[in-house]
Amino acid sequence: MVGEDGPVTGNSPPPPENVVVDLRDVHKGFGPKTILKGVNLAVERGTSAVVLGGSGTGKSVLTKHVVGLLQPDKGEVWVLGERLDLMTPEQRDRKRTRLGYLFQGGALFDSMTVYENMRFFLDRLTTLRRDEKDDLIMESLEDVNLPQTRDQYPAELSGGQKKRIGLARTLILRPDIILYDEPTTGLDPVSVRVVSELIVQLRDTRGISSIAITHDLLAAEIITDKAHFLHDGVIAASGTLDEVRRSDHPVLQEFFQGTEAYGQA
Ligand SMILES: Nc1ncnc2c1ncn2[C@@H]1O[C@H](COP(=O)(O)OP(=O)(O)OP(=O)(O)O)[C@@H](O)[C@H]1O
């Protein structure tokens, strides 16, 4: 059921008010390959969820459902009280303005300064006045503690700074939820810590809820309120990072033993 003006809820009962993302029995396949086989995952407002799992298990496929980049074959995708999977493309686009997605790599245009990169993004998505855009850009750069980089080019920034600028660009429209796909990949441990602590700071000061995919154990330890381990198309374990780590599921044991040996989650 798609309402013209009212919330898009279909016939199922909505999740409680404090649950901002609720995936219910989500299935997804590509051709003969089934990737998600009934994923259930809920995220509470103002918390950081982390999705763990082996390579190619479907972590990115899962998060792309939350931002409406993929549609489930079966199941329900509740985001901020509405069914994303039942929305028209226009309704979904409107909803997306409340969601931020920090892609792996968080690509910035090399030929543009930090300011121009952010302006480009705002020009495409909003019809704000120039001074309003400038204010938003400066506020977001301050949020990631990098206002001084405004006129620099990406080549002049460190890997960690580039990630933080990517994050500033995601923050600019004041999203309620941010999805992070490998936010610390390729960074040295000091930068991993800085970026991870920034994610926590945004949760605490702005109340931003998030879902992060990470292979990085240090990042997971800093970010995670609730961890979800994806295996064979379903969430095989959920809980605090320690609870998931202590699970006696053999695949989880293998996963964490491997990561402890290599310092990666
Ligand atoms: N649009 C698509 N069309 C066809 N197959 C896809 C598509 N998107 C993802 N897949 C397949 O789905 C599977 C899961 O991919 P996904 O990127 O979600 O894994 P992942 O768990 O995020 O892996 P990694 O940790 O290595 O990034 C892969 O086999 C991938 O090839």
Q: What is the pLDDT along the chain (265 residues), one digit of tens a residue?
A: 444 567 888 889 999 999 999 999 999 999 999 999 999 999 999 999 999 998 899 999 999 999 999 999 999 999 999 999 999 999 998 898 899 988 776 678 999 999 999 999 899 888 999 999 999 999 999 999 999 999 999 999 988 899 899 989 988 888 999 999 999 988 899 999 999 999 999 999 989 999 999 888 899 999 999 999 999 999 999 999 999 998 888 888 888 887 654 444 4
**Best residue among 59, 67, 185, 230 to mutate for probing ligand 1, ranked by most atoms within 8 Å of CB:** 59
Q: Could you tell me the residue ranges of all domains in the chain?
A: 19-113+179-257
> How high is the ipTM of this complex?
0.96
Burial of 130 (0-12, 13-18, 19+ CB in 10 A): exposed
What is the pairing mode between strands 74-79 and 82-83? antiparallel
Say which residues have a Cβ less than 8 Å from residue 170's Cβ, sequence separation at least 6.
100, 101, 102, 106, 178
Instruction: Judge if the beta carbon of residue 59 lies within 6 A of ligand 1.
Output: yes
The CA distance from 154 to 52, in Å, is 30
Nearest CA to ligand 1 atom 14: 58
Out of 3.40.50.920, 3.40.50.720, 3.40.630.30, 3.40.50.300, the CATH code matching 19-113+179-257 is: 3.40.50.300
Instruction: Judge if the beta carbon of residue 63 lies within 6 A of ligand 1.
Output: no
Nearest CA to ligand 1 atom 3: 30
Nearest by Cα to 187 from 208, 209, 166, 171: 166
The CA distance from 262 to 265, in Å, is 8
Instruction: Judge if the beta carbon of residue 61 lies within 6 A of ligand 1.
Output: yes
Q: What is the per-residue pLDDT for 128?
A: 92
Instruction: Judge if the beta carbon of residue 58 lies within 6 A of ligand 1.
Output: yes
Determine contact, residues 107/98, Cβ cutoff 8 Å.
Answer: no
Instruction: Judge if the beta carbon of residue 30 lies within 6 A of ligand 1.
Output: yes
Predicted TM-score of the model (pTM): 0.89
User: Which two three-digit tokens encode residue 186?
Assistant: 């390729």
